[in-house]
Chains A and B, each alone.
Chain A
């Protein structure tokens, strides 16, 4: 398996623009997670899905952030409009239902810079 695939690896955008981050989870994994990593706040869980349904979005910082999972093999995290404080590395991860046995697998991340 190719693992969790995220795109793009790097994104530089201007303040006010819309940004879309993409994630392809491991085939067969029921759960998908979006995390944000910053120096100040570390790794924060933003939202997670089970079988394409959002289960917990309590970590989504503002209404400017939205996430979708239209099918089992694709998810997006959108920021509209983007602000400089959104600059961070965004990770996607996936897990099978028996996560205690197999754990959570992370993608390589998208480094977002908002100028």
Chain B
């Protein structure tokens, strides 16, 4: 069965510093991969997605993620964090077959120091 692991529950970075959030997935074939962001009391907003092609994908708000098949990873990065980036980030995996299930990781809460 497919699964997603986000090993970091909390991450704290200083404003202006770079950010990398880790995501590892378990799936027998190439999956669809997504990163979502959730601000307090809000729904989930899609940051970026990967389904084929270039393994480095660009998203909104200056985020990018790199798909590494050999490491079963899809880490999210941002070169310079802004205070408004403080939120919870979820990695998700979807199967490329007929199932449309989207399975989420447990999330990483990002705190930004001024």
Contact = CB atoms under 8 A, between A and B. Distances in A.
A and B pair up = yes
Contacts of B99: 56
B94 A99 contact: yes
Interface residues of A, number: 22
Nearest to A48: B100
Contacts of B96: 100
Contacts of A91: 43-44
Given A42-B104, A42-B107, A48-B101, A103 B34 contact: yes
Nearest to A101: B51
Interface stretch (A62-70, A72-80, A105-113): A105-113
B49 A33 contact: no
Interface string B82-110: 00000000100010100111111111000
Interface centre among A91, A104, A107 (most CB of B within 10 A): A104
A93 to B, nearest CB: 8
Looking at chain A's contact residues, the main secondary structure is strand
A12 interface: no
Given A43-B104, A95-B100, 14 more contacts: A31-B100, A42-B107, A45-B103, A48-B100, A91-B44, A100-B51, A100-B94, A100-B96, A101-B51, A103-B34, A106-B36, A106-B43, A107-B43, A108-B42
Interface of B: 32, 34, 36, 42-46, 49, 51-52, 90, 94, 96, 99-107
